[in-house]
Amino acid sequence: RKEVEQDPGPFNVPEGATVAFNCTYSNSASQSFFWYRQDCRKEPKLLMSVYSSGNEDGRFTAQLNRASQYISLLIRDSKLSDSATYLCVVGAGSYQLTFGKGTKLSVIP
Amino acid sequence: EAGVVQSPRYKIIEKKQPVAFWCNPISGHNTLYWYLQNLGQGPELLIRYENEEAVDDSQLPKDRFSAERLKGVDSTLKIQPAELGDSAVYLCASSPAWTSGYYEQYFGPGTRLTVT
C-alpha cells in the first residue's frame, strides 16, 4: 500500500462546479497534512494546511479524519484558474513530507 | 523576497555523462531538500540538509548520486554517470526552522533533465 494515495483523476469539470478530492495515508503517526498545487511544468506551491477541525480559505475547504486516515479538499465555484494538479502531502516528522501522485483538475469553460 | 533559485532549467545529456544541478535556497532557510519528480508522480525526497549537514540521505542512490552543501547555503546535486532512467525533474526546496508545529517548503522551478 502506498503511503499517500489520491484519486487517480483526471477531473474535468465545468466552470462553477463543485469538485472534491480525496486522499488516504497509511502512516498513523503522521502529524501534519497539506494540499499543494502544481501548475503544468511549474513547481509545487502550498495551497493550504489541513487541521483536525477542518479549515476553509475562500472557495477551498479542507477536512481531516485521523481515525480513517483520510484527507479531503473541496473546491466550490470552480474557476478556469483552478486548473492544476493537486498534491496531497503528509508529514510524519518535523521535516519529512510524503507527496501523493496528485490529481489533475481541468476546469472547462 | 527572492525565491529558491535553480540552474540550469533544462539539461540534455547522453547516457554515461556526468551532470550537476545547482540550488540557492531562500535567504535564512536552514533546511534544504532535493527531490526527484517523474512524470505523473509526486516529488520524492532524495536528500535533506540542515545547514551543511545531510540529515536524511536514505533515498539517495549513492552509487551514482552525490550532493553537497559546503557552507550551509547553496547546494549542488551531481549524477555520475547518468542513466536513461534518470530523466526527470529535479526540484530543490527550502524551509525555515520548525516553529509552532507549522512550516512550509518553498520549491524552486526545477531542472528538467533528459538523458538520451
Contact A45 B107 (CB under 8 A): yes
Q: Which residue has the cell 493537486?
A: A86
What is the rounded CA–CA span in Å between residue B35 and residue B46? 5
In this predicted structure, which of A53-62, A84-93, B100-109 has the lowest mean pLDDT?
Answer: B100-109
Instruction: Please list the residues that pair with A2 across neighbouring strands.
Output: none
* CA dihedral (B74, B5, A94, B88) positive or negative: negative
The predicted structure's pLDDT at residue B1? 67
In tens, the pLDDT along B45-79 reads: 999 998 899 988 999 999 999 999 988 899 999 99
- The three-point CA angle B11-B17-B22 to 5° equals 45
Contact B15, B82 (CB under 8 A): yes
Query: Which chain A residue is nearest to residue B32, measuring alpha carbons?
Result: A95
Contact B45 A102 (CB under 8 A): no
What is the rounded CA–CA span in Å between residue A17 and residue A3? 30
How many Å lie between the alpha carbon of B80 and the closest alpha carbon of chain A? 25
More confident residue, A52 or B103: A52
Q: How does strand A103-108 pair with strand A84-91?
A: antiparallel
